[in-house]
Structure 1
Amino acid sequence: MDRRQLSHLAHRDHPVAAPLDDASVGRLLTLALPRGDERVLDLGCGEAAWLLRALADRPEVRGTGVDVSPVALAGAREAAAAAGLTERLTLHETDAARFTAPHAFDLVAVVGATHAFGGLLPALAAARAHLAPGGRVLVGEGFWECAPSPAALAGLGASAGEFDDLATTVDRVTADGWTPVHAHVSTPGEWDDYEWSWTGSLSRWALDNPHHPDSADAWEAAAAHREGWLRGYRGTLGFVTLLLRAS
């Protein structure tokens, strides 16, 4: 199965493709958008869940989303149309690292998409290039809750050097010229909900479409992901969403 289609199916019931619940998303957006009339850019927006939530609660906010996945952007357009938000949402199918815009943004989000830039600090550099004076950046990044075991690394397909612990992650951000003005560390419950949703959505699709040529691939992907999580990185990989201002 195409990786982008697989991700689309896995996130059907959890469109914020990161381990945050609805209340956490709402709290972060309240702090990130204090005026209620900001321009918002989401780099690696996926199905634009952050943007749609921001626009739905704030009729003067305008959003721009950038992603390479046509499947995800089609889902974003469909959701925007259903919510009556199409006129205030602009979507671009392009590499987020190469995106340019004719104006700056009051909030730039890169949540769970720093890999598209080659890591946390390159993602922050890209965000800074789009940021209006006094603006904010919302960045979501993984970190090690504890030293990763071989099983955890295998479950993630990661190396031990791919993430730091939380304190070191924040140190890297502050050394790069940013000040955290708020943050949310995903709880174990948010992680569990996200992972059960990911594997469950994909498994349900496979069960409901047994004759689809991708059904077996979806089933196997869900089973492998569940195994890698439950017997590997559960309790080891954390996720922090930082709200930053330039120092």
Structure 2
Amino acid sequence: MDRQKISAIAHGDHPIAAPLHDSSVDRLLTRALPRGDERVLDLGCGEAAWLVRAAGGRPGVRGDGVDVSEAALTRGWSWIEEAGLSGRVDLHLADAAGFGAPQPYDLVMCVGATHAFGGLLPTLEAAGQKLAEGGSVLIGDGFWEREPGAATLEVGFSADEFADLATTVDRVTEAGWVPTYAHVSTLAEWDDYEWSWTGTLARWALDHPEDPDAKDAAAAAVQHRTEWLRGYRGTLGFVTMVLRRAE
């Protein structure tokens, strides 16, 4: 089963593709969009959930989203139309790393998609190239809540893939960025995200037994649930930071 199709289905009940409750998303956007008339770019936007939340209730905000998943962008367009944001939010089917911004943005976002650039620091470098003077970056990435054990590594992680939270922040500041706000996802946020991901995919498989991808979807839900519960639950953390360049 195509990975993009799996992701599109699995995020149907949790369009924010990261372990964040709605209240956390709103708080981060409030800190990142103080004026309410900013130009926003979301690199790896998925279904455009962050852009819809950013522009909704802020009539001066305009945004662009970039993603390689046609299925996710199709769903994103429907969200944009339903929210009445057509003309203010635009989506582009393109590689986020190669997207050429026509002009600088006041806020560049990349939450849960730093793999597209090769990690946290390369993502910050790429985002900075598209950022207007005085602008902010909203970035979300993993870190180790505790040292990963054998069970975590066996599901596909490497020990050096992430660092602890303090080291992660140190690396960001050493690269010339200043955190102006951040949110560390709670275990409850992680559990809600993972149960939504696996449960939505499993329900789709049960509701569409005639679909040729139903068995693959069910298997993917079981595999993901097992890797989460027996592998990285309580070990993999997630931090979302609002950053500005150091003077």
TM-score tier by shorter-chain length is: over 0.9
Q: Which residue of 1 aligns with 2:167?
A: 168
TM-score normalized by structure 1?
0.99
TM-score normalized by structure 2?
0.99
Name which of structure 1's ranges 185-194 and 92-101 shifts more when overlaid on structure 2. Answer: 92-101
Superposed, 1:1-247 pairs within 5 Å as 1-155=1-155, 157-247=156-246
Between the aligned residues of both structures, percent identity stands at 66
Query: How far, CA to CA, are the matches of 1:131 and 1:78 in structure 2?
Result: 28
Unaligned runs of 5+ in 2: none
Q: Secondary structure at the match of 1:162?
A: coil
| Aligned Cα root-mean-square deviation (Å) | 0.6
Query: How far, CA to CA, are the matches of 2:190 and 2:27 in structure 1?
Result: 18
| Cα deviation, residue 154, structure 1 | 2.4
Q: Secondary structure at the match of 1:133?
A: strand
Query: How far, CA to CA, are the matches of 2:115 and 2:59 in structure 1?
Result: 31
- How many matched pairs? 246
Q: Which 4+ stretches in 1 moved above 3 angstroms?
A: none
Q: Secondary structure at the match of 2:200?
A: helix
Unaligned runs of 5+ in 1: none
- Alpha-carbon displacement from aligned partner over 1:26-74 (angstroms, at most 9, x marks no partner): 0000000000000000000000100000111201100100001101100
| Cα deviation, residue 112, structure 1 | 0.4
Question: Structure 1 or 2: larger helix share?
Answer: 1
Q: Secondary structure at the match of 2:182?
A: strand
Q: Secondary structure at the match of 1:86?
A: coil
What amino acid is the match of 2:35? R
